[in-house]
Amino acid sequence: MTVITGSIITYNESRNIVACIESLKLICDEIFVIDSLSTDDTVALARAHGARIIEHQYLGDGPQRNLLLDDASHDWIMSLDADERMTPELATEIRALDLANSPFDAYAMKRRNYIGSRWVRHCGWYPDYVVRLYHRMRTRHGDGKSHASDLPTRNIFKLEQAITHLTHENVSEVFAKPGRDYHSRAAKILYLKGKKVNPLSPALHGGSAFLKHYIFKLGFLDGLDGLTVCLGIALRSYGKYARLIEFYRDPEIRKREDFDRIW
């Protein structure tokens, strides 16, 4: 088996970091935690569990993940978020790969998204393929600041097994996850791109997002959780465009925002 370097980006993830590190140890003999200057004990916990630490002000999702590439001992990188877990089944599948002779730049895997202990199987939340295992000399994350910035390669193989994503602890977090102002962050990115909007944009985007995920992506099959997820998706879309309009219309609010530190 080819040796693999693990990578986790963090900010105030003390409740998640230990379990994430321990899950990566199923396939990695080296693990980096790239921390965005946490104010809790994320770094201390990570160091106590054998992780190598890089501390840096957050640069955006893609650039932040790339910070380890010059220091990693191995060419293959397995990247997780702190609220994700490597499963034993996926670890077995990866260990069986001949990575040393692989023709692929990267590998994608399914992701099982959970509310509490409940797996949400529809709403576009499964199989929810994410590219997390990649060869650092063949590809790297782009400069995008959005969350979960993709790797710019199409030479990808899809694995059968999944990682676990502890998306929300409860249904309340679907609407307001602590410390995550998604509306403002996403609106800032659109504002910097010069995205055009009109007064109907929030309602149109919010409504279409609900229909897409609840009807066309079969969210209704997940019962109350599916309805909750789809409403949350719709409200985030509505809020993003409402916030964007606010940036354009209210210079006082715009002046109070830091557009250099988006995430």
Tokens in use for 107?
A: 């590998």
Question: What are phi and psi for residue 37, nearest 5 degrees?
Answer: 60, 55
Question: What are phi and psi for residue 255, nearest 5 degrees?
Answer: -65, -25
Euclidean distance between the first and final Cα of the chain, in Å? 36
Domains of the chain, residue spans: 4-168, 172-256
Paired residues of 52 in beta bridges = 32
Q: Are 69 and 75 in contact (CB under 8 A)?
A: no
User: Angle 223-249/182-192 helices, nearest 10 degrees?
Assistant: 50
CA-CA distance, 153 to 131, in Å (whole number)?
10
Using the 8-state DSSP alphabet, how is residue 177 labeled? -
- Where do the DSSP E strands lie in the chain? 4-10, 28-35, 52-55, 76-81, 84-85, 106-115, 118-119, 130-135, 156-168
pLDDT per residue rounded down to tens, the chain (263 residues): 689 999 999 999 999 999 999 999 999 999 999 999 999 999 999 999 999 999 999 888 889 999 999 999 999 999 999 999 999 999 999 999 999 999 999 999 999 999 999 999 999 999 999 999 999 999 999 876 565 557 888 999 999 999 999 999 999 999 887 667 778 888 988 999 999 999 999 999 999 999 999 999 999 999 999 999 999 999 999 999 999 999 999 999 999 888 876 65
Q: What pLDDT, in 10s, does the model give residues 113-141?
A: 999 999 999 999 999 999 999 999 999 99
Tokens in use for 253?
A: 């609010």
Domain 4-168 sits in CATH at 3.90.550.10
Confirm whether pTM is higher than 0.85. Answer: yes
pLDDT for residue 148: 55
